[in-house]
Structure 1
Amino acid sequence: MRASPLPLLLAASVLTVLAACGAEPALDAPAASAPVVAGKKINLSPEQNRVRTAKVAAIAGKVPKEIAADGKLTVGFSAGGAPPLVSPATDDTTLIGVETDLAQLVADVLGLEFTPQSSSWENLFLAAKSSKYEAVFSNVTVTEERKDTYDFATYRIDQLAWQVPDNSPVKAIKGPADIAGLRVSVGSGTNQEKILLDWDKQNRAAGREPVEILYYERYGDVLLALKSGRVQAYFGPNPNIAYNIAVSGGSRIVGTFSGAGPDLQGLIAAMTKKGNGLVQPLNEALNTVIENGTYQQVLERWGLANEAVPESRINPPGLPRQPAS
């Protein structure tokens, strides 16, 4: 589930084929022109002409005064992201993607100026906790542990995928035994890392070979590691992987998994500091754009219609807490 100068190389999901949000990063050189996914061109330029919507005064009036005072909604995004979630445009500066588009819609409903900010993945959480960022829209999964510190308003389903090179002997990854002894890459501090560590713990307890885990800050580095054989598989957000495969090829998805574990459908959510009073207006704004159709327009624009939710929920059940070691 992280700004990189590889906006085209780092493609991510947009096909109905990718119903489970999992794909492989393209291992070839980036395309010279706008990528085409599901028969439509994806705009990676800074001139986005984003889908917009109208202010709803009744919801805007619920934004806490201290947040609304400057007339801005300051939103954090991961600097190392990849399309179609969030990534730098072709100017290597403007942040674009489904996450920025949805945050813009929410800011519109709240009558606030959308003010995007970029940081490392880990610092998103510190910035939200300190109120430096009033909200975070960056493919953040709801987890029980995170709910201790943050409030969440959901807006997409969360699917993870296993990516391997086309020539990999690995045919399917369905559970812990399938990754025993492999060199695997995963994002640090992510929910997929928690799932991977749990699988490795199960393997060790069963006497299987441990997993060798390698960490890279950017998805582009993961792709290079896959191509060179430094890692044999990558466990990450299905949209990024699927988009990359669709645009560049060179790899396969060999398994998908809910971001909340085997017993619960994971959910992606807007994150804000717990108890700051913003989650309710965020939730109502998201439900407004779901109802007026602009939400669906954004997801379709980025090829993620299959990750739509029927409604936004506040603090639903999330990835369970990890058992103590």
Structure 2
Amino acid sequence: MTARSIRRTTAARTRLAAVGSLAVAGALLLTACGDQTDSGSGSSTSESTDKASTAPLFSKLPKEIQDKGVIQVGTNAEYAPMEYVEGGKIVGVDPDIAAALGKQLGVEFKFTSGAFDGLITAVNTGRYDIAMSSITDNKQRQEGLDESGKKLGEGVDFVDYFTAGTAVYVKKGNPKGVKSIEDLCGQTAAVQRGTTYEQALKDQSKKCTDGGKKAIKIESFENDTEAQTRVKSGGAVAGVNDYPVAVDMARKADGGNAFEVIGEQYDAGPFGIVVDKQNTQLRDALKEAVDAIIKDGSYQKVLEKWGAQSGAIQAAAINSGK
């Protein structure tokens, strides 16, 4: 979800785009971040109290979350294996990591899926307590800046829990002989709108024209499924995505016969849990919880379950993205 690479360059499912797009498009699409799909119902106060008796970090949470027993999570569930819908439920790496965090914190993490480029705005407005959707931690998002450095929004804090880079994928058999992102000059490439890997394509396109070559024709779609379909049909020579998402897609789509990933990941960077800058207590509690699940081994078990070990980190960090 270098994400959603949800790094949703940040360059690069990164489910992991520039903050300007998030701030502007997020404001327009906030209503699109509605309750399309969720991962379960909220816990009652009594259930939360029971959990608290065995949860070592429950007391670290803000009082309002202790009382609710729930952390509301915004996501864009279209980035297998990071987060996607299966059997009407949101599953994947991020929901499983969240479940492990919930055991440490004594609360339920309730995921709701909506538009990716509205997630940060939705956290800032209080619609969600956090966003967890293969979102790349970078300075633009931290500071609420657009591509030119202009201040557009408040910005957010990140609790970094995973690392991933950008990947280029092509139709199986690589009919155009693409070897790297540099080969996309003058070609058509598909990508999800509002992601860091969309920005990666824009950056590469500028390098193309600066070097006397033709720009990349970038086709941006609201969701990643549309971008994949464009590549599969041959309408786009390649797509760009988070590395773990692209690898999983190449392995599973049409039994492994639809796509292939070109080369290794590049521009690796951290995925972070998005928290409003004013909510430092929740941010710090989440960091402690990430460190706790790394220490007790449950974090590694989640990554092994989903084949995402390449993204493992040794310790949580706050705003480590560049």
Task: State percent identity of aligned pairs.
Answer: 27
1:172 aligns with 179
Are the counterparts in 2 of residues 75 and 103 from structure 1 also a CA contact under 8 Å?
no
State the alpha-carbon separation in 2 of the partners of residues 78 and 317 from structure 1. 21
Q: How does 1:185-200 map to 2 (within 5 A)?
A: 185-200=190-205
Are the counterparts in 1 of residues 137 and 270 from structure 2 also a CA contact under 8 Å?
yes
By how many angstroms is 1:57 displaced? 4.9
State the alpha-carbon separation in 2 of the partners of residues 171 and 210 from structure 1. 16
Please give the per-residue CA displacement for 1:136-185, whole angstroms capped at 9, x wherever unaligned: 11101011011121111111111221001123222410x54x21101001
By how many angstroms is 1:255 displaced? 3.1
State the alpha-carbon separation in 2 of the partners of residues 255 and 181 from structure 1. 20
1:307 aligns with 311
1:161 aligns with 167
Local SS of the residue matching 2:60:
coil
Amino acid at match of 2:278: G
By how many angstroms is 1:220 displaced? 2.8
By how many angstroms is 1:58 displaced? 5.0
Amino acid at match of 1:160: T
State the alpha-carbon separation in 2 of the partners of residues 104 and 216 from structure 1. 30
1:140 aligns with 2:135: yes
2:57 aligns with 59
1:276 aligns with 279
Amino acid at match of 2:263: G
- What is the Cα-based RMSD across aligned positions, in Å? 2.3
Are the counterparts in 2 of residues 164 and 226 from structure 1 also a CA contact under 8 Å?
yes
Are the counterparts in 2 of residues 67 and 134 from structure 1 also a CA contact under 8 Å?
no
State the alpha-carbon separation in 2 of the partners of residues 212 and 256 from structure 1. 23
1:68 aligns with 66
Identify which of 282, 285, 288 aligns with 2:289.
285
By how many angstroms is 1:60 displaced? 2.0
1:41 aligns with none
2:90 aligns with 95
Number of aligned residue pairs: give it.
262
Identify which of 196, 211, 224 aligns with 1:206.
211
State the alpha-carbon separation in 2 of the partners of residues 87 and 166 from structure 1. 23
State the alpha-carbon separation in 2 of the partners of residues 97 and 185 from structure 1. 24
State the alpha-carbon separation in 2 of the partners of residues 292 and 76 from structure 1. 26
State the alpha-carbon separation in 1 of the partners of residues 291 and 203 from structure 2. 34
State the alpha-carbon separation in 2 of the partners of residues 309 and 244 from structure 1. 23
Are the counterparts in 2 of residues 83 and 97 from structure 1 also a CA contact under 8 Å?
yes
Identify which of 97, 100, 104 aligns with 1:105.
100
Are the counterparts in 1 of residues 83 and 94 from structure 2 also a CA contact under 8 Å?
yes
Local SS of the residue matching 1:69:
helix
Moved over 4 A (4+): 54-58
Please give the per-residue CA displacement for 1:102-123, whole angstroms capped at 9, x wherever unaligned: 1111122111122111111012
1:86 aligns with 2:83: yes
Change (3 A) 1:245 1:257: closer
Change (3 A) 1:172 1:249: same
Which TM-score applies when normalising by structure 1? 0.75
By how many angstroms is 1:219 displaced? 3.0
Amino acid at match of 2:214: E
Are the counterparts in 1 of residues 130 and 273 from structure 2 also a CA contact under 8 Å?
yes
State the alpha-carbon separation in 2 of the partners of residues 317 and 213 from structure 1. 25
State the alpha-carbon separation in 1 of the partners of residues 67 and 125 from structure 2. 17
Amino acid at match of 1:96: V
State the alpha-carbon separation in 2 of the partners of residues 215 and 86 from structure 1. 20
Gaps of 5+ in 1: 3-11, 13-20, 23-45, 48-53, 319-325
More helix by proportion, 1 or 2? 2
2:109 aligns with 114
Please give the per-residue CA displacement for 1:280-313, whole angstroms capped at 9, x wherever unaligned: 1111000000000010111111111121111111
Gaps of 5+ in 2: 7-12, 15-38, 41-50, 144-154
By how many angstroms is 1:241 displaced? 1.6
Are the counterparts in 1 of residues 163 and 312 from structure 2 also a CA contact under 8 Å?
yes
Are the counterparts in 2 of residues 170 and 254 from structure 1 also a CA contact under 8 Å?
no
Change (3 A) 1:101 1:57: closer
Identify which of 292, 297, 302 aligns with 1:298.
302
Local SS of the residue matching 1:236:
strand
